[in-house]
Homo-oligomer: A and B are copies of this chain.
């Protein structure tokens, strides 16, 4: 189980790194950016929840996207809002295209049915095992 889950995560990671190289983003950066474009003003904590990453990791991801002028942060009190820049909105269709390409690729290799089922099962198990 340990190996299988890690091995699968790594090959999937590799496949997606490859796909998102087209927009010069890592998969995590890309998914975060898509979320922010779809829901401007989203907060780090909520992003962490959606992406299943820790808040500190989210901070680091945002920092990088900010340095590339793809998002901006506004800080009011203890909450921070993350907004996409026009540059990010422009990029959005390409992001979607990458996401689609990624899905198409692994569907082709593994079969749609199997894939969807596996994805559901994995998400389910991850939930159960969580804290």
- Interface on A for B, CB 8 Å cutoff? 1-13, 15-16, 27, 31, 51-52, 102-103, 106, 109-110, 114-115, 118-123, 125-126, 128-130
Contacts and interface: CB of A to CB of B under 8 A. Distances in A.
Contacts of A4: 118-120, 122-123, 126
Contacts of A12: 1-2, 5-6, 129
Given A1-B106, A106-B1, A129-B109, A8 B118 contact: no
Contacts of A114: 121, 125
Given A1-B106, A5-B9, A118 B119 contact: no
A50 to B, nearest CB: 9
